[in-house]
Structure 1
Amino acid sequence: MDKITRKTSFEQWLSPISTVLFDEQVNAHHLDYYTKKLYMASFTKLLLHAQLHETESLRAISDCIFSEELQEASNLDSISFSQLGRRLDRIPTGFFQAIFLDLVTQINEATNLQFRRKTTTPLKLIDSSTLPLNLKNHQWAKFRKTKSWIKLHLRLAFMEKGCSYPDKAVLTNAKEHDLGQLKVLIDDKECMYVFDRGYLDYERFDRMTDEGYFFVSRLRKNAIVRSIESFELSENSPVESDEMVVIGKAQKRTENTFRLLKVLDSKGNQLNLLTNHFDLSADEVAEMYKSRWAIELFFKWMKQHLNIKKFYGQSQQSVHNQVFLAMIVYCLNVLAQLKTKSKRTYLQISLYLKAALWKPARIWIRKIQGKSVP
């Protein structure tokens, strides 16, 4: 991370956002045409500042501009909450999505330099989580008579040393089944995909195998399985059995053979793991599935520490924009950790940033590096 001391910590935190890409997106979507005051650069800084401080409403964001430091950073001395709302509604989700994907690319480059997994197969974890909305204000996302929800379908890149980050995301109404997004989230043959029982589809498993994609999933206990061959296990292995199998009834059986592992979890419950990768050891496959817990922790962290509990706007576009802004904040914290080689958690990095927001960047950088601040 560069150490230009003239920057504030806030500016340093925002520095991975490419100004070239930002300007290209603004021009492509004509977002600053006929704008007299609330330009996209200023508006984006306000929104990221609000995410960082978990500001819950546009009115509260408007009130925050009372801060002289924020006025200087955003080039605004005042703005009404109604102007903020109209602006948020007009921004296409593709704008913030493009910034998010560019940050993901930067994280990929940084992690490739810093980390090397013990196995040659990187992990991509797939899962989804629902985000509740107010039914009265968000009828377009109605899920049940009394509830409105959207669903975040996510692919999380999992690296060693506890580093994980979202590298692809799709937002839909909660009615959308997880299986429908699997084809969107699987596009790399150089990794192992890990997902749970909600994505079970034997025909798709056959297609993935034929096309060269590797996966490990959890099989239902009542699945019809025919064993073809059993494999030997290493001593003291947590795996109880390792077999080559075909799945399904005679009329609708899988065309390919798969590998079925029976593993006991920490509570003594048996897990039936299915994979199409035969070159890894049984222990490696079991450990890969265990890594799936990281995406559950990500969703928990995101809901606790990012501002997606209350949404600023009522339109689908504004809600989706706010979710992508939350993931941009997460990626900025990941990049801060990687570029400073910090051992701090993302939460600590965020807390130190808020404490030193308008101070010189070197103060925040040294703090998250664990160095004394002169």
Structure 2
Amino acid sequence: MCDYNWWAKLDEAGAYFVTRLKTNAAVEVVRHIKPTEHENTGETVLADEYIRFTHRKNSSRPNRCHGKILRRITVSRQGKEPLVLVSNKLGVTAQEIVGTYKARWQIELLFKWLKQHLQLKRFLGRSANAVKLQILCAMIAYLLLKLYQQNGRTDQSLHLLCTRIAGSLFERPQTLYARYARRRRERLELARM
């Protein structure tokens, strides 16, 4: 999502962002940084630049990022087109920015798993508190499943473990069923006497 005004709000709040940049973004390069200055640990940094937006307006809205210095990093990927990232983190290496972008994808994958497997597709309430509570409950359930899996109690995937637990929640445990069946047999034998 390329909402430049939202980026400006994040920057003013003291937060940082790392996201993709549109290919048709109107920017001017303020300064080039040699990619050899950064340690390469996986991806190859093709370009590392300080940039600034040239347009004062986007469509009909003012561009609040106009004049702010941002960092544009181009990273090569195997078998794909290069990835162009933009960030307001100016004092770190390009590899740190690329690592932050990768960590962001891990969060995206977590929420994708929560939505698919823990029924987080629809919210039960509309208030902010109701939405937060439902997300927190799903995250707690995920963490409990992960802890159960990591403690070596099972080698099943999280999906299979979640399915097994969901399927067995409303089943009568075998020990209770055996006790129930034994008592029923005893009652039938007493009734026959």
Fold similarity call, TM over 0.5: yes
Distance 2:11 2:45 in 1: 23
Corresponding residue for residue 30 of structure 2: 228
Q: Which of 61, 83, 106 in structure 2 is aligned with 1:294?
A: 106
Q: Is the 8 A contact 2:149 2:158 kept in 1?
A: yes
Aligned length: 156
Corresponding residue for residue 213 of structure 1: 15
Query: Counterparts in 2 of 1:49-64, with a 5 A limit?
Result: none
Structure 2 alignment gaps of length 5 or more: 58-62, 175-193
SS in 2 for 1:292: helix
Q: Which of 76, 84, 103 in structure 2 is aligned with 1:264?
A: 76
Corresponding residue for residue 183 of structure 2: none
Deviation at 1:277, TM superposition (A): 1.2
**What's the RMSD between the two structures over aligned residues?**
3.9
Query: Counterparts in 2 of 1:27-42, with a 5 A limit?
Result: none
Structure 1 alignment gaps of length 5 or more: 1-197, 360-374
Look up the equivalent residue of 2:93 and give its one-letter code. Answer: S
Deviation at 1:250, TM superposition (A): 4.8
Distance 2:104 2:96 in 1: 13
Q: Which of 33, 52, 55 in structure 2 is aligned with 1:246?
A: 52
Aligned pair in 2 of structure 1 residues 341, 217: CA closer, same or farther (>3 Å)?
A: farther
Look up the equivalent residue of 1:241 and give its one-letter code. Answer: A
Corresponding residue for residue 93 of structure 2: 281
Aligned pair in 2 of structure 1 residues 260, 342: CA closer, same or farther (>3 Å)?
A: farther
Query: Counterparts in 2 of 1:1-374, with a 5 A limit?
Result: 198=1, 200-234=2-36, 238-250=44-56, 252=63, 254-308=66-120, 316=125, 323-324=134-135, 325-336=137-148, 340=151, 346-347=158-159, 349-350=161-162
Q: Is the 8 A contact 1:238 1:283 kept in 2?
A: no
Distance 2:99 2:132 in 1: 35
| Per-residue CA distance 1:277-309 (angstroms, 9 max, x = gap) | 123221221232133332342243234322356
| Structure label with greater radius of gyration | 2
Ranked by relative contact order (alpha carbons within 8 Å, sequence separation 6 or more), the top structure is 1
Corresponding residue for residue 48 of structure 1: none
Q: Is the 8 A contact 1:206 1:255 kept in 2?
A: no
Aligned pair in 2 of structure 1 residues 231, 341: CA closer, same or farther (>3 Å)?
A: farther
